[in-house]
């Protein structure tokens, strides 16, 4: 073997084959798998029940972590940590750990940059560089799993709401989900992982057809095409009517509740008119709305809605029987919104 393999790219069966090529018996694969996904080791030398000869083969032919830490930020309340990883080809991605009373939630990236161009998003403002590999997605989780294990904590939830559009990197994103929910390894419940999409209609329908257990969140942010076109360019390709057809199809196929994400921008989409349009759009639908006062970015002039405007917006939704919660914003003092740390450290191209 001439080129080192990133071992996180391998399924269990592929790991068996890989070790077989190294002249090792099949049972070694489960040992390595356990060290990776239940012990979260970051160095082959830590795999203490492996013979030295196998460790040397692994060190010569594979890598575990290929990213390096470019920057770390901690919120003033100590509940949020953001890491900027530098990948071997010079790209950067961000991962955020958010501590709540009973949860340890990771917000992970699926792409370097993003092609969707949402105007209020720091990642959308920087453009698209490339999809992440399965190993690059999984490694973000295992990095923090290793760190949390040092204090006898563990990852309880994952949201794929970091840099990139997860369904634009469909195959690698879902392969990473399969890896993280594998009962013989990391074993996180599928319903503890949420995938967020800005509204790629064909991918939503494919996702529904596959009967995935991982919840789906739709970044809606506007209830009329005139307003959504200004915020989310992809709306011109799949307008709200097409998106809602796909959402109804998803609910019909899976029986699962959808979440709609709504970043409240003062004077833009927090008006009573938008609240009523949203209420009419979602009335009677099996769904829930996450209201999120905007996390400001340098490339967008809009600001977060006031508590008074948020309260009025939420009250109007309740008149239509639409349930909603106001998400607690985390990491504002460290610019924990996706793409913001990369933008500050690296700058936009």
Q: Is 225 helix (H, G, I), strand (E, B) or coil?
A: helix
pLDDT at 344: 47
User: How far, rounded to the nearest angstrom, does the alpha carbon of residue 304 sit from its chain's CA centroid?
Assistant: 22
β-partners of residue 261 are 219, 290
Q: Quick one: pLDDT at residue 154?
A: 97
**Tokens at residue 35, please?**
């060290």
What span, in angstroms and rounded, lies between the C-alpha atoms of 242 and 249? 11
Superfamily of domain 68-345: Aldolase class I (3.20.20.70)
| Helix extents (H) in 107-231 | 122-126, 134-149, 170-181, 201-209, 225-231
Helix 307-319 / helix 272-282 crossing angle, nearest 10 deg: 30
| Of 285, 206, 209, 284, residue with least CA distance to 253 | 209
DSSP letter at 131 equals E
List, in order, residues 6 or more apart from 88 with CB less than 8 Å away. 66, 67
Which residue ranges make up each domain of the chain? 5-63, 68-345
What is the Cβ-side half-sphere exposure of residue 303, based on CA atoms within 13 angstroms?
4
Task: Determine the Cα–Cα distance for residues 2 and 274; give it in Å rounded to an integer.
Answer: 58
SS3 1: coil
Helices and strands (H, E) in the chain, number of each type? 12, 14
Rounded to an integer, what distance in angstroms lies between the CA atom of residue 163 and that of residue 151? 27
CB 295 within 8 A of CB 303: no
What is the mean pLDDT of each successive set of 10 residues along the chain, which is 349 residues long? 83 96 96 97 95 96 92 88 95 95 95 94 92 97 96 97 97 97 96 97 98 96 96 97 98 97 94 97 97 86 91 96 84 49 48
Predicted local confidence at residue 152, as pLDDT:
95
Please spell the DSSP secondary structure of 272-314, one letter per residue: HHHHHHHHHHHTT-SEEEEEEE----TT----BPPHHHHHHHH
Enumerate the active-site residues. 94, 338
Cα 221 from Cα 275, distance rounded (Å): 11
- Taking only the tens place, the pLDDT of each residue in 43-87 is 999 999 999 999 999 999 999 988 999 999 998 888 899 999 999
φ, ψ for residue 296, nearest 5 deg? -60, 150
Radius of gyration of the chain (CA): 21
Residue 260 tokens read as 């709609």
Tens of pLDDT, residue by residue over 189-215, are 999 999 999 999 999 999 999 999 999
- Pairing type for strands 92-99 and 80-86 reads antiparallel
pLDDT value at residue 329: 59
What is the structure's pLDDT at 78? 83
Two tokens, residue 97: 């750990």
Cβ-contact 338, 292 below 8 angstroms: no
The domain made up of 5-63 has a fold known as DNA polymerase; domain 1 (1.10.150)
């Amino acid at each position: 073997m001439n080129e080192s393999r990133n071992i996180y790219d391998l399924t269990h069966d592929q790991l068996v084959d890989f070790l077989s090529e190294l002249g090792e018996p099949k049972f070694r694969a489960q040992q390595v798998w356990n060290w990776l996904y239940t012990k979260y080791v970051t160095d082959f030398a830590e795999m203490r029940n492996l013979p030295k000869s196998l460790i040397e083969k692994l060190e010569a032919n594979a890598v575990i972590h290929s990213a390096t830490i470019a920057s770390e930020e901690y919120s003033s309340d100590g509940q949020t940590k953001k890491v900027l990883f530098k990948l071997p080809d010079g790209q950067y991605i961000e991962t955020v750990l958010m501590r709540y009373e009973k949860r340890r939630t990771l917000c992970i990236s699926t792409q370097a940059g993003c092609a969707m161009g949402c105007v209020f998003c720091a990642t959308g403002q920087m453009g698209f560089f490339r999809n992440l590999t399965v190993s690059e997605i999984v490694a973000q989780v295992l990095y923090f799993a290793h760190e949390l294990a040092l204090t006898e904590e563990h990852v309880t939830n994952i949201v794929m709401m970091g840099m990139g559009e997860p369904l634009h990197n469909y195959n690698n994103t879902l392969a990473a989900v399969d890896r993280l929910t594998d009962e013989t390894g990391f074993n996180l419940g599928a319903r503890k992982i949420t995938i967020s999409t800005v509204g790629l209609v064909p991918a939503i329908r494919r996702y529904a057809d596959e009967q995935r257990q991982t919840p789906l969140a739709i970044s809606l942010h506007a209830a009329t095409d005139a307003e959504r076109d200004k915020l989310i360019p992809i709306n011109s390709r799949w307008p709200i009517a097409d998106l809602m057809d796909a959402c109804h199809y998803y609910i019909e196929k899976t029986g699962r509740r959808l979440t709609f994400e709504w970043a409240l921008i003062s004077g833009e989409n927090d008006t009573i008119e938008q609240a009523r349009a949203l209420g009419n759009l979602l009335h009677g639908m099996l769904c829930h709305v996450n209201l999120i006062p905007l996390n400001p970015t340098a490339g967008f002039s809009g600001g977060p809605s006031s508590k008074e405007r948020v309260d009025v917006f939420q009250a109007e939704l309740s008149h239509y029987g639409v349930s909603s919660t106001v998400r607690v914003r985390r990491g504002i003092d460290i610019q924990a919104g996706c793409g913001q740390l990369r933008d500050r450290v690296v700058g936009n191209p």
